[in-house]
Amino acid sequence: MTEVQPQPGSVVPDALTTVLLGHNAFQFTRAGVELGLFDLLERSPGTPRDRIGAELGLAERPLDILLLGVTSLRLVERTDDGYVNAKAISDLFTGGHWELVKAVVGFEAYVTYPGLVDFTESLRADSNIGLRRYPGDGATVYHRLSEDPELLKVFYHFMGTWSAVASKHLIRYGDFSSSRRILDVGGGDATMAIAVAGAHPDVEVTVLEIPKVVDLARKRVEEAGLGDRVKVVEGDIFAGDYPEGHDTVMYVHQLQIWPQDRIRVLLGHGHSALPEGGRVLILNSMSEDDYDGPLMAALASPFFAAVAGEGGMLYSWEGYEKSLKEVGFDRVRRTRCTEAITPHGIITAVK
Ligand SMILES: C[S@@+](CC[C@H](N)C(=O)[O-])C[C@H]1O[C@@H](n2cnc3c(N)ncnc32)[C@H](O)[C@@H]1O
């Protein structure tokens, strides 16, 4: 019989281990998602070890590694018969958030990771040095992804899923009572435009986007049967010649891509395009004004600092509000989307 020595107390607490080796923790989560482990355990709680190996097509050693990781991270629990998803994972399935989890894993694995090796360098340089890790010479990661059909698919699956969740907050908390024609600046695959037009039958939305994304957005608008009220227009959001005739300009998950001086340029273009009394609306995840949280805003920021545009972050409420006032907006109002799983908020202001 093997003699087992008593364990000394852990020198490094689990939380610190998870942070120090966090990359590995993510890779276990990713493997569990991509191999279908969590799906299997949700379908068949209590699946025995050998059955998991057979269903996932894993040999003995890889199966040991995977189960070691996901149980140690408490994503999965061992029972007398086999394995079950931990409650936190199960809750994501029953709460209808599993598609979002899968989309976030795809985004982190294929879009974020390559550029994040340059995070420290990007902080030093106050610029998105990590963009160099993506093929092409497009000015932003979005321009570069749009040249690669596979990555474009991964990114907009994530962005569309994320925005579909966020759109529920916009519909619930956003005030569109005085909006008839909305301009959605960098509106992506039109998920947000479709949601707003769907919820407000008198409203028309124009999405402004880069060429390859325009094709994607037009297809989605057509599938939603909203072609008469949602238009998708090709253009550069920094060019300043925004389409005319809108009473509301909307920036959704847009301003966090840029440094503050570029944000003022974008907000300034929105201001010029609006009539007196016209409104601007920002929907984004927000940091607190003291920059001490929340964790989601912190952990989502490195991608914008190191990769996305010219260097950005999930700014605080106050950061956006200051810029709005500087370009001439007034009656600035903030609304927290309180039941959001992300720290989403809405800021509106009037010209
Ligand atoms: C983070 S995504 C947000 C998309 C959308 N607003 C949403 O919430 O789903 C940023 C979008 O801005 C677009 N974008 C970035 N730079 C742009 C530019 N110079 N002109 C037009 N669109 C741009 C990108 O193509 C991308 O779809």
331: part of which helix (H) or strand (E)?
strand 330-336
Query: pLDDT tens digits for 296-312?
Result: 999 999 999 999 999 99
User: Which residues make up the CATH 1.10.10.10 domain(s) of the chain?
Assistant: 14-94
To the question of domain 163-350 being in CATH 3.40.50.150, the answer is yes
Provide φ and ψ at 231, rounded to 5°: -105, 145
Q: What does CATH list as the number for 14-94?
A: 1.10.10.10
Which residues have CB under 8 Å from 132's CB, separation 6+? 118
Question: Which protein residue has the closest C-alpha to ligand 1 atom 19?
Answer: 236
Q: What is the pLDDT of residue 5?
A: 72
Q: What is the pLDDT of residue 13?
A: 79
Atom of ligand 1 nearest to the CA of 237: 20
Query: pLDDT tens digits for 17-65?
Result: 999 999 999 999 999 999 999 999 999 999 999 999 999 999 999 999 9
Helix axes 22-34, 60-72, angle to 10 degrees: 120
Question: Is the shortest distance between the CB of 238 and ligand 1 below 6 Å?
Answer: yes
Ligand 1: which of 100, 205, 209, 216 to mutate, judged by most atoms within 8 Å of the beta carbon?
Answer: 209
User: Which residues make up the CATH 3.40.50.150 domain(s) of the chain?
Assistant: 163-350
Provide φ and ψ at 340, rounded to 5°: -70, 145
Provide φ and ψ at 83, rounded to 5°: -130, 145
Q: Residues 345, 336: contact at Cβ < 8 Å?
A: yes
Query: pLDDT tens digits for 82-112?
Result: 999 999 999 999 999 999 999 999 999 999 9
Query: pLDDT tens digits for 233-270?
Result: 999 999 988 999 999 999 999 999 999 999 999 999 99
Ligand 1 centroid distance, CA of 64 (Å) = 42
Query: pLDDT tens digits for 181-198?
Result: 999 999 999 999 999 999
Ligand 1 centroid distance, CA of 186 (Å) = 4
Atom of ligand 1 nearest to the CA of 238: 19
